Chain A
């Protein structure tokens, strides 16, 4: 170990050695406790303690803290060190504070005073120490106290470069906690012009700051684009000797280059000016060219730095998505990386290609690498790389390669890591559904999924295959035959039994003609699995059996025997017992006619969504893999047009999935509800086209129902929908009033609730049926009840469809059933409010948004809204009379969630800051999302 310069602390080194020499954890703890006692007594008793000793003890405390022990004293001594006139003591004081003092400490005032003094110092070393400390703590108090000094330091001509660098980043840190710290006006251009500074270090720091400012206010800082492009161009064309110490392993200023490339990604298009655009494209080309040059060094640092710039340039190219030539070149470059020996590069190339696959210009180009990607999925040693390959296959999949990709994914699934199986199953299911031109293929794929990875096939997946089979007549016979074959396997997954049971119960008759799958054979096959299954599956099978009695009267006695079995008729499971005894009676008492009516084929499912996609999105928040080619922004696509000419019905399906990805609840393309039994697919498709045109007229604003319970929910020239609602605890009742505004009856009138099963577990909504005809000028009422079981996000929608003058109409309307309806207002005084507020300071308990006011800032309006929101608006609690604070409790069946709110207007900036604190993370986020941008 080399001797260290500066002044060492012997006592500290001895203590550290002691700790290292401890033979056991217990000995270490003992030694530490002894030291803590010693330091405590020194701090308490010894008034003559000099600066050096204080420094030494504070340092020991720090070391003890870093070992993982809690430190609850010494803060005051550390603060004392700040005002020492010895730099070494001051520095340790600052270190202790940045490591150990949290933002809402009482000591902050004292600390701020010391920082103020040091900021005034003429020695840049002192100033920087102060700036670093501000940045390390970065609290609002800091922002308030230094909102004048720091911007001045940043742009002043007298400030030394090293101080400017620190000031830029310090300001950035404060801006992140208090966005209003940045002065506007003339400051904007002064800050932007830091991009032209002589000193590369200053530019590097300033670019980070400007990037954050641009994100908040792109228009105001638009001037930075030209400067950034020309700076970048100069760096890229510089030789590595030009930039001296800012060249890193023969790469000129990689950090600054990457930051500038990131900065430009805030704009799209990056620039409107042809000249600047040309220069930027030239620069990007140069970066791509350099990637082809032989390396200037064999060191990994050289290639990392060079490729870091390259990847960021490719990100910008993808982001702009307007230069086919660059996109194709980027894709070729990444293709080379796919077989590089560096795992890191392969990983990043796969990741980047996922984005390229969604651009129409490079989609085809990405597909050329399909084989290599498949190999990566199979052969990579690192699961995260394999996972990335799966993501890419998913992204590059289209109608042309779907069968092959799905097959490869299925093959791989047999040996895939457990950690990625569930996600792969979802992806295969989505791709198979989306690109199925032939639904027999779809059925095969899903049954294979269940066979290979049954445990990972979620309910959504097997529900979905049943929905699709029910809705598509042409595939029903095939599905029945295939499940029948699949069930022959000696060990077959319970999910297969469920799908098999359901499908045979509905369509077993379609294969009953073949003696190999005669009714009794089907029944015996299913029943051979019965005893191995869970009660839920058994219940499903019992339903299948009663359907069999209707389909195949000849096996009635065999089935009645099963119903009569002791284990069913007297089952401990109430559901099984009830089914067995009711089905038995039904089979004995009911006439054939009654039986046939009761056990009629199931009605078609409304085809709205692929709920599987929602599951996938939920599994991967923040990184939703995409499988959609983006629409072009510029010149018409030439290469991929064949993608748009699919067979009709699958095209519909595709557009559905498309809408889902965008998060819009567009109506289904082909809803076969309410049509006659012999559903005819061409008819459906014709209707499908009509649906597309007629839903734009909707004039309604459901957001306003956040703040009120009654009013007109929707109105167009045909229909008016009013709503009245009341809520108590976790229960709610809604009345919907449909008024026909036209002179003719609206027929086939059918509101359908859209609230999937999973969401239904959180908010249980029951809707009474309504008459299918709404007479001219008449009004009908529909009652809904809602029970909040657990907090939930968003609100249910209803799809309303009807025929008006022979044309089918369809709308989707969000119900005013957001979670805030279950608020109970809570009165409290300032003291208890702030006590609770402080208690709810965990990361997951807080959410904050800053947003522009709907012009002009309307405080009484905001108060009114808050009063309607359901929480108690508390007056005389916040010291600032403009601020609004509220408290309330959300009632759910499972728990009560306390929730606090604070809304702070900034009149000058015409902005609001909204803070929510609640004892449950999901509630915090949802309330914050509901309210942001509402004032």
Chain B
């Protein structure tokens, strides 16, 4: 089970956080601080896995963003790297070659996409097509509402 996922920039700014375990806010801040420092200090060719407290950390850097997950001792590290990759692919597909700014300005979308991929720290849907379909049907609902709203505003409904 994944315990949490953090996205942060090369400057150490947190861009997204998702906690699958209930930690007190103070602990969350502490964990974040510690991990950001630890990971930023690591060199590029180093191993993507590290032992940390009683769990394992799996991280990977994509352009200016670090994706960092904590998993339990007997979870599969390599496949966690691929969960990260799948998430990046989904963001990329959705935003059209995603960059850090997309995630800053549309953080809520980044959350919605993550919620379709993982629930309670476990992978829910590994098919890229199916996740994108789910997100598309969310967007469709929103667009319908938007159109409806406009029509109402101009008195056509």
Q: Is A6 an interface residue (CB 8 A)?
A: yes
1/0 per residue, CB under 8 A from B, across A153-187: the answer is 00000000010011001101100100000000000
Q: Which residues of B contact A95 (CB under 8 A)?
A: 108, 111-112
1/0 per residue, CB under 8 A from B, across A309-329: the answer is 001100100000000000000
User: CB within 8 Å of A: which of B101-157?
Assistant: 101-102, 104-109, 111-112, 115, 119-130, 134, 137-139, 141-143, 145-146, 149
A307→B77 CA distance, assembly (Å): 10
Please pick, from A16, A87, A312, the residue contacting B142 in the complex, using a CB distance under 8 A.
A87
Instruction: Provide 7 A-B residue pairs closer than 8 Å at the C-beta atoms, listed in order of the A residue.
Output: A2-B97, A7-B145, A125-B134, A169-B122, A255-B79, A304-B79, A385-B47
User: CB within 8 Å of B: which of A7-53?
Assistant: 7, 13, 16, 20, 52
A204 touches B123 (CB 8 A): yes
1/0 per residue, CB under 8 A from B, across A553-594: the answer is 000000000000000000000000000000000000000000
Given contacts A87-B145, A205-B124, contact A348 B102 (CB under 8 A): no
User: CB within 8 Å of B: which of A381-430?
Assistant: 381-382, 384-385
* Apart from the given pairs A13-B105, A205-B123, A343-B47, 16 other A-B contacts in the complex at a CB distance below 8 Å: A5-B139, A52-B149, A66-B14, A91-B138, A99-B111, A172-B122, A255-B123, A304-B78, A304-B81, A308-B82, A311-B78, A312-B76, A315-B74, A348-B49, A384-B50, A842-B24
Q: Is B9 an interface residue (CB 8 A)?
A: no
Task: Tell me the smallest distance from the CB of B13 to a CB of chain A, in Å.
Answer: 9
6 closest pairs, A vs B, by CB? A173-B120, A308-B78, A169-B119, A245-B127, A308-B79, A2-B96
1/0 per residue, CB under 8 A from A, across B16-50: the answer is 11000011110101000000000000010111111
A68→B22 CA distance, assembly (Å): 18
Please pick, from A62, A135, A301, A348, the residue contacting B82 in the complex, using a CB distance under 8 A.
A301
Task: Tell me the smallest distance from the CB of A62 to a CB of chain B, in Å.
Answer: 7
B79 touches A344 (CB 8 A): no
Given contacts A66-B107, A95-B111, contact A162 B119 (CB under 8 A): no
B48 touches A344 (CB 8 A): yes
A347→B78 CA distance, assembly (Å): 11
B129 touches A843 (CB 8 A): no
Given contacts A68-B14, A172-B120, A204-B126, contact A254 B105 (CB under 8 A): no
- Considering only CB atoms, which chain A residue lies closest to B48 in the complex? A344
- Considering only CB atoms, which chain B residue lies closest to A103 in the complex? B22
Q: Is A924 an interface residue (CB 8 A)?
A: no
Q: Which residues of B contact A622 (CB under 8 A)?
A: 54, 73
- Considering only CB atoms, which chain B residue lies closest to A94 in the complex? B115
Task: Tell me the smallest distance from the CB of B87 to a CB of chain A, in Å.
Answer: 13
Please pick, from B125, B141, B143, the residue contacting A201 in the complex, using a CB distance under 8 A.
B125
Q: Which residues of A contact B96 (CB under 8 A)?
A: 2
Given contacts A95-B111, A343-B45, A384-B50, contact A135 B120 (CB under 8 A): yes
Q: Which residues of A contact B14 (CB under 8 A)?
A: 66, 68
Q: Which residues of A contact B112 (CB under 8 A)?
A: 91, 95
B141 touches A135 (CB 8 A): no
Q: Which residues of A contact B102 (CB under 8 A)?
A: 1-2, 4
Q: Is A227 an interface residue (CB 8 A)?
A: no
Task: Tell me the smallest distance from the CB of B75 to a CB of chain A, in Å.
Answer: 9
Task: Tell me the smallest distance from the CB of A356 to a CB of chain B, in Å.
Answer: 16
1/0 per residue, CB under 8 A from A, across B61-105: the answer is 000000000000110111101100110000000011101011011
Task: Tell me the smallest distance from the CB of B27 to a CB of chain A, in Å.
Answer: 6
Q: Is A305 an interface residue (CB 8 A)?
A: yes
B139 touches A384 (CB 8 A): no
B78 touches A381 (CB 8 A): no
B125 touches A138 (CB 8 A): no
A678→B86 CA distance, assembly (Å): 72
Q: Is A92 an interface residue (CB 8 A)?
A: yes
Q: Which residues of B contact A139 (CB under 8 A)?
A: 22
B115 touches A201 (CB 8 A): no
Q: Which residues of A contact B123 (CB under 8 A)?
A: 204-205, 208, 255
A385→B51 CA distance, assembly (Å): 11
A91→B108 CA distance, assembly (Å): 9
B77 touches A258 (CB 8 A): no
B129 touches A5 (CB 8 A): no
Given contacts A6-B139, A62-B108, A246-B127, contact A1 B101 (CB under 8 A): yes
Q: Which residues of B contact A312 (CB under 8 A)?
A: 76
A621 touches B54 (CB 8 A): yes
Task: Tell me the smallest distance from the CB of B136 to a CB of chain A, in Å.
Answer: 8
Q: Is A804 an interface residue (CB 8 A)?
A: no
Q: Which residues of A contact B45 (CB under 8 A)?
A: 343, 381-382
Q: Which residues of A contact B143 (CB under 8 A)?
A: 5-7
A617→B124 CA distance, assembly (Å): 37
Task: Tell me the smallest distance from the CB of A84 to a CB of chain B, in Å.
Answer: 10
Q: Is A932 an interface residue (CB 8 A)?
A: no
Q: Which residues of A contact B85 (CB under 8 A)?
A: 301
A474→B6 CA distance, assembly (Å): 60
B22 touches A138 (CB 8 A): yes
Please pick, from B99, B101, B120, B142, the residue contacting A169 in the complex, using a CB distance under 8 A.
B120
A344 touches B124 (CB 8 A): no
A1 touches B78 (CB 8 A): no
Q: Which residues of B contact A837 (CB under 8 A)?
A: none
Q: Which residues of B contact A170 (CB under 8 A)?
A: 119-120
Q: Which residues of B contact A102 (CB under 8 A)?
A: 22
Q: Is A552 an interface residue (CB 8 A)?
A: no
A424→B23 CA distance, assembly (Å): 34
Q: Is A623 an interface residue (CB 8 A)?
A: yes
B95 touches A4 (CB 8 A): yes
Q: Which residues of A contact B79 (CB under 8 A)?
A: 254-255, 258, 304-305, 308
Q: Which residues of B contact A204 (CB under 8 A)?
A: 123-126
Q: Which residues of B contact A308 (CB under 8 A)?
A: 76-79, 82
Interface centre among A16, A132, A200 (most CB of B within 10 A): A132
A63→B101 CA distance, assembly (Å): 14
Task: Tell me the smallest distance from the CB of A498 to a CB of chain B, in Å.
Answer: 33
Q: Which residues of A contact B46 (CB under 8 A)?
A: 343, 381-382, 384
Q: Is A253 an interface residue (CB 8 A)?
A: yes
A66 touches B17 (CB 8 A): yes
Q: Is A128 an interface residue (CB 8 A)?
A: yes
A381→B43 CA distance, assembly (Å): 10
Q: Which residues of A contact B129 (CB under 8 A)?
A: 245
Q: Which residues of A contact B86 (CB under 8 A)?
A: 248
A246→B128 CA distance, assembly (Å): 8
A423→B120 CA distance, assembly (Å): 36
Given contacts A86-B145, A138-B22, contact A1 B99 (CB under 8 A): yes
A398→B150 CA distance, assembly (Å): 78
Q: Which residues of B contact A195 (CB under 8 A)?
A: none
A169→B123 CA distance, assembly (Å): 9
Q: Which residues of B contact A248 (CB under 8 A)?
A: 82, 86, 126
Please pick, from B106, B120, B146, the residue contacting A4 in the complex, using a CB distance under 8 A.
B106
Q: Which residues of A contact B104 (CB under 8 A)?
A: 16, 20
Task: Tell me the smallest distance from the CB of A313 to a CB of chain B, in Å.
Answer: 11
Task: Tell me the smallest distance from the CB of B37 to a CB of chain A, in Å.
Answer: 15
A344 touches B142 (CB 8 A): no
Task: Tell me the smallest distance from the CB of A738 to a CB of chain B, in Å.
Answer: 43
Q: Which residues of B contact A125 (CB under 8 A)?
A: 134, 137-138, 141
A215→B82 CA distance, assembly (Å): 26
A384→B82 CA distance, assembly (Å): 21
B126 touches A347 (CB 8 A): no
A774→B88 CA distance, assembly (Å): 76
1/0 per residue, CB under 8 A from B, across A240-264: the answer is 0000011010000111101000100
Q: Is A88 an interface residue (CB 8 A)?
A: yes
Please pick, from B51, B78, B105, the residue contacting A384 in the complex, using a CB distance under 8 A.
B51
Given contacts A170-B119, A385-B47, contact A201 B124 (CB under 8 A): yes
A165 touches B106 (CB 8 A): no
Q: Which residues of B contact A128 (CB under 8 A)?
A: 134
Q: Is A59 an interface residue (CB 8 A)?
A: yes
A930→B108 CA distance, assembly (Å): 46
User: CB within 8 Å of B: which of A94-118?
Assistant: 95, 99, 102-103
